[in-house]
Chain A
Amino acid sequence: MLNTRREFLKQVARASALAALSSQMGLVYAMDPPLEQDGLSWQKAPCRFCGTGCGTMVGTKNGRVMAVQGDLQNPVNKGLLCAKGYHAGAALYGRDRLTTPLMRKGNKQVPISWDEAIDAIAKQIAKDPSNFSIYGSGQWTIPEGYTAMKFIKGGLGNNHIDPNARLCMASAVVGFITTFGVDEPSGCYDDLDECDTVITWGNNWAEMHPVLFSRVMNRRNNGEKINYIDLATRQTRSTKAADHYMEFVPQTDLAIANCICYQLLEKGTYDKDFVAKHVRFKDNEKKDLSIEEYKAFLAEYNIENTSKLSGLSKEQLKYLGDIFGDKNKKVLSLWCMGMNQHTRGTWINNLVYNVHLLSGKFGKPGSTPFSLTGQPSACGTCREVGTLAHALPGGRVVKNAEHRKQVEDVWQCKPGSINAKPGFHTISMFEAFAKGDLSSMWVQVTNPAQSIPNLHKNLANSDKRFLVVSDVYPTVTTRLANIVLPSALWVEKNGVVGNSERRTQQWFKMVDPPGDARDDVWQMLAVAHKLYEMGFAGMKNRNGKFLFHMEDENGKEIKSWDWNVYKTINTDKILFDEYRQLTLLKHKDIAPYDEYVKTRGMRWPVTEQNGRWVETKRRFVANDDPYVAEGRDIDIYMAKAGDKKAIAWARPYNAPPEVPDAKFPFWLCTGRVIEHWHTGTMTGRVKELKRAMPHAYVELHPEDARELGITDGDMVKIKSRRGSIILPAWVLGRGKPAKGSVFVPFFDETKLINEVTLDAYCPMSKEPDYKKCAVLVEKA
């Protein structure tokens, strides 16, 4: 019987692969035998992990996830998944799942009831509501982030909420807003299918967005000519597929982008018509520049100077200039953390837009800049819902009185409930917590005690403050907590998320969470209602009802704070449809919840046309985006000046705050590996992934290793001005850093590289630079 079943499953596995191959080649999908015949119940859900947002089909039986397959009907991945995606199911079943609330008593965390936990949290908040903070996540679902934002901004009247997305994409946000007047990309994944040239700017997409990488590589395999240029500071798996590898000195991407613009203007190869119609120029002081003044600014970024500064050869720089100057080339620029985690992260985002705006390679199929995100809902939750310290839903900001009023009206809060003063952004939030300026913090869906930079400084005293942590497994952060709340994970709850290409995707709960673990939304609703019961004014709306008042179709109040009621209703639908009203202001329109149930997601703006909900592939582009004014080919409709033009900023090269010197002679770059998701909380529980990548390592250039007398497996000390750690060496392992630099991944909780990193950040986006600081490297 076992053999029969195994043979049958192999047939299913083969049929799935054949169907995926057909789908990759644009053929009609037919699967024999169909999935249902394997005895599992199958439902769609987007992958739990990265910002690519691949669709999975999840097979369940007897209340347990048994299998995962790439969703052939999902246009994001057309059936493909990476190593993390197909283990998303196994990540639910680590042996040490948190299953009961815990409270610190003395040196121990002991089990308590949910009632005790909710009561203790509400009492602590009521003592000092204006100094309470929430640190959330780009892995929050849209309803989770929306609930947390309404709780603190509407209920407590303070704005001390920020997500870990501050650490991964804040520079992209400010880059978009300063250039286009509104956040999020014009392009979409379809551009991967139509480009003829791909340039990655400091992005190892073969490991970090592997399915997108495969999508382009499959085109190559099918005989299409795709030129891939890997512009980076470290050779990676992506480099193996590159036609051109260009290694630059850290931070000089600013100069390289300016040099490309210099060449376009100097040679006259820029797109004059596009520039005249759609671009204006400004300097750093926001003063308008003529194109001649802008050209004069660029003069110092000539090929000679830039080659000396960046380490790229003159030929390489000229090649880049020529690629962008060629009207017939369809160039897609991709980037993620390499550009965003940068002390001039906003500027480098602006400068890559400059390159595309000057060359007219914008908003055209396959020819556009495209910023990738790291987390599954960094876009949907942090950027669109606006769970940042200065933001409100739909692109609004707390500083704007009209925006506050619009949100208060939808939330039915009393007028003036929302505070006009932005709260602490991530780094300042942890500094304030360390100093005692914030008395309490609630962390959901993230692990800051491992992931924030310069841990010694930023985590000082956190065990002395009131810290609540909601998570699925024990982490270095839960160990510091006064109260630990066990959470439901992925398909143990309903969810809606938004990926890199503006695609909003929904799924339903499929299995129960283990033990007494409960949804993050419920946790927040329960504390909010406890505060309401205690008479806390902010948790009453303008009609005296609970701030999160919900009604059924008969107008009867839904007791959403009662777990026995909560688990029988779909609060996601109620919260999402409420949030939806706030998405129209800046043309980020989303459809009603029920529309997402029927689809594999839709890219906003989604508008109702002739009774159908229609998504937008390319934003700002005529015949696609419904908000483009008649007669325009491209419409930058949220341009601040009202002139419908994007801004090309004159941003200079700016040296990094810390560079190698005699005492700390190496660059340190940190990042992720394909097997593990961020701090490894979930993927570290999957045996296959743990065994494939059991611990962190330091990757060295072979010549540096030889000079230091280090060979593979030797223990190596990495020391900075902030801290030190000891790690095994990996020479010529998976990647090859530039000579004079080392790479360390941050997934390993036993080797906290963030004790070494620097917390300097971009002054505009407040996003820290994890990619460069100075360290000493020596044999331990």
Chain B
Amino acid sequence: MPITSLIIGTAPGESANVAQQLADVPYVTITDVKEDSIIVITDTPQSEDDKTCWDAFTGIPGVVSSDVIYHNFEDVEQ
């Protein structure tokens, strides 16, 4: 059950729209919405789910980049 934080870079003026759509992605908590970036925390039940969930971000119109900052997988068995 990994916990991860990401910075989602958005096109200028798009962060509010993107944040709305991000809110619909399962396992996602939006913690901070800035002018051109959004901080997102994912807490997924299975380790396989997190990458799928992050992939969903890049498909959202207005998302320019998605970078992972912190990834804790201390209770995950590979």
Closest B residue to A87 by beta carbon equals B71
Q: How far is the CA of A24 from the CA of B3 in the complex (A)?
A: 22
Question: Given A9-B72, A67-B71, are A17 and B47 also a contact pair (CB < 8 Å)?
Answer: no
Chain B neighbourhood of A93, CB < 8 A: 77-78
Closest B residue to A685 by beta carbon equals B78
CB distance from A140 to the nearest CB of B (A): 25
Would B52 and A692 count as touching, CB distance under 8 A?
A: yes
Within 99-146 of A, Cβ neighbours of B (below 8 Å) are at none
Question: Given A14-B39, A21-B34, are A688 and B50 also a contact pair (CB < 8 Å)?
Answer: yes
Chain B neighbourhood of A81, CB < 8 A: 67-69, 71
Question: Does any Cβ of A come within 8 Å of B16's Cβ?
Answer: no
CB distance from A734 to the nearest CB of B (A): 10
CB distance from B50 to the nearest CB of A (A): 6
Would B64 and A220 count as touching, CB distance under 8 A?
A: yes
Question: Given A18-B32, A90-B78, A221-B12, are A692 and B67 also a contact pair (CB < 8 Å)?
Answer: no
Would A21 and B7 count as touching, CB distance under 8 A?
A: yes
Would A68 and B7 count as touching, CB distance under 8 A?
A: no
Would B65 and A214 count as touching, CB distance under 8 A?
A: yes
Question: Does any Cβ of B come within 8 Å of A59's Cβ?
Answer: yes
From the candidates A16, A82, A94, name the one contacting B5 in the complex (CB within 8 A). Answer: A16
Within 1-56 of A, Cβ neighbours of B (below 8 Å) are at 6, 9-10, 12-14, 16-18, 20-21, 24, 38, 40
Within 203-227 of A, Cβ neighbours of B (below 8 Å) are at 210-211, 213-214, 217-218, 220-223
Interface residues of chain A: helix, strand, loop or mixed (majority): helix
Q: How far is the CA of A70 from the CA of B5 in the complex (A)?
A: 11
Would B9 and A214 count as touching, CB distance under 8 A?
A: yes
Would B68 and A70 count as touching, CB distance under 8 A?
A: yes
Chain A neighbourhood of B48, CB < 8 A: 687-688, 691
Q: How far is the CA of A83 from the CA of B6 in the complex (A)?
A: 11
CB distance from A223 to the nearest CB of B (A): 7
Within 1-34 of B, Cβ neighbours of A (below 8 Å) are at 1-7, 9-12, 29, 31-32, 34
Q: Per-position contact with A for B43-78: 1 when CB-CB < 8 Å, else 0?
A: 100011011101100100000110111111110111
Q: How far is the CA of A687 from the CA of B50 in the complex (A)?
A: 10
Would A79 and B69 count as touching, CB distance under 8 A?
A: yes
Question: Does any Cβ of B come within 8 Å of A69's Cβ?
Answer: yes
Question: Does any Cβ of B come within 8 Å of A468's Cβ?
Answer: no
From the candidates B31, B54, B65, B78, name the one contacting A14 in the complex (CB within 8 A). Answer: B31
* B interface residues, how many (CB within 8 angstroms): 41
Would A69 and B3 count as touching, CB distance under 8 A?
A: no
Question: Given A18-B39, A69-B69, A214-B65, are A80 and B7 also a contact pair (CB < 8 Å)?
Answer: yes
Chain A neighbourhood of B51, CB < 8 A: 83, 675, 688-689, 691-692
Q: How far is the CA of A40 from the CA of B73 in the complex (A)?
A: 12
Would A67 and B7 count as touching, CB distance under 8 A?
A: no
Would B5 and A14 count as touching, CB distance under 8 A?
A: yes
Closest B residue to A93 by beta carbon equals B78
* A interface residues, how many (CB within 8 angstroms): 54
Would B65 and A86 count as touching, CB distance under 8 A?
A: no
Chain B neighbourhood of A10, CB < 8 A: 3, 29, 41, 43
Chain A neighbourhood of B65, CB < 8 A: 213-214, 217-218, 221
Q: How far is the CA of A81 from the CA of B54 in the complex (A)?
A: 13
Would B70 and A61 count as touching, CB distance under 8 A?
A: no
CB distance from B27 to the nearest CB of A (A): 12
Would A90 and B69 count as touching, CB distance under 8 A?
A: no
Would B69 and A16 count as touching, CB distance under 8 A?
A: yes
Chain B neighbourhood of A214, CB < 8 A: 9, 65, 67
Question: Does any Cβ of B come within 8 Å of A242's Cβ?
Answer: no
Interface centre among A40, A61, A214 (most CB of B within 10 A): A214
A-B pairs with beta carbons under 8 Å apart, 26 shown: A6-B3, A10-B3, A12-B70, A12-B72, A14-B39, A16-B70, A17-B32, A21-B7, A21-B37, A38-B72, A40-B74, A66-B72, A69-B70, A69-B71, A82-B67, A86-B4, A86-B71, A89-B73, A90-B47, A90-B73, A90-B78, A210-B67, A221-B12, A685-B78, A687-B48, A688-B47
Show the binding face of B for A, using Cβ within 8 Å: 1-7, 9-12, 29, 31-32, 34, 36-37, 39, 41, 43, 47-48, 50-52, 54-55, 58, 64-65, 67-74, 76-78
Show the binding face of A for B, using Cβ within 8 Å: 6, 9-10, 12-14, 16-18, 20-21, 24, 38, 40, 59, 61, 66-70, 79-83, 85-87, 89-90, 93-95, 210-211, 213-214, 217-218, 220-223, 237, 241, 675, 685-689, 691-692
Cβ-closest 9 pairs across A and B = A13-B5, A66-B74, A86-B71, A67-B72, A688-B51, A80-B67, A16-B70, A221-B36, A692-B51
